[in-house]
Structure 1
């Protein structure tokens, strides 16, 4: 089936209640080829105004879904990297970095490091979480810089959370992460940033320091008391 046949087969369903009835067939057909016309059409669908945001997100996820006839990930990665360079809006660029991160594309780590100090919140957020997904010990310094210096408390929180993600894959990073958080937490006052740091130390050392994390990622607890407990625990660990 060529791309014109796919368009004729599915575009009549866009913007109708029947779209979701056919979405998995669309996925199979879209991913049947990694030729440029298929990739271009797939990318256009991500921005199709006749689809609602959830439907567009669903189609976006097809770029990194596992299927029987997998696309060439390097070719897809190169295509999406070119789109990143062409896109003008931070929101679209952030989406592309996250897709490349999900793909584990070989050049996404370098791209995330390059853009991690962007003036745009969306881009910094995407770069931080992608380094959490694909980074190694050598990327901890970039995350630490954000954990210390990002103007947004939520992104300082993400910096700590991304370190935890790296630790899940690279247990040898435990001491370095501990040292970074030990330096950052003492002067931190933002509740979001503090919870990220405390949760990370709790996980690394299997300690209960006062912050609870639900299965859905919701955080609760007295942050001020938890910070005090965390600092005392860090003093013990690093003494």
Structure 2
């Protein structure tokens, strides 16, 4: 009878221990679920940043490329009109030679001018894009750590000595990372993303002005040639 009572106690103790362990595991899984929820929130934010940057750059590049193509067409039209005027001019050959002496240089020059405009745009776009990627990369470290934060808790803390505290410690770590994300990471991502949005207001007018000046200079030189030949033919 006594041995039966001891067996019952041991059985109950084992059941109690198993139940305690099950509850502990369930709580750890709940903590891991919380970590994954924060992780998904972060990843969602990162995706929004990437999509927003991509959409903004697609539109910006569309406008920049459109203006560059228009400029090339304008330059080609100026060139054709000027060379046609030279070919039809009745001005003396000596006058024609002087008037068009630097024409090839000017054609080369306008091409280089447009190339410099494109280079300026590329430098700024690349720089702002790099800022966003750097911010995302730094933020990604925090997000990745959250995925395995419970397992990491077992690595950093002795599970035998800190069985009851691991969940508390890890829970506090999750909250710390979430607070850091809200206070530091998210505002920083918004700041660098705003740098991309600002390109539409700052870079686009700057590059359009650069292109316009290149075309205008070339057009003015073509006008000088035409005016010179017109004067010589009088």
TM-score by length of 1: 0.15
Query: Which has more helix, going by share of residues?
Result: 2
- Structure with the larger RCO, 1 or 2 (CA within 8 Å, 6+ apart): 2
Q: Which has the larger radius of gyration?
A: 2
TM-score by length of 2: 0.15
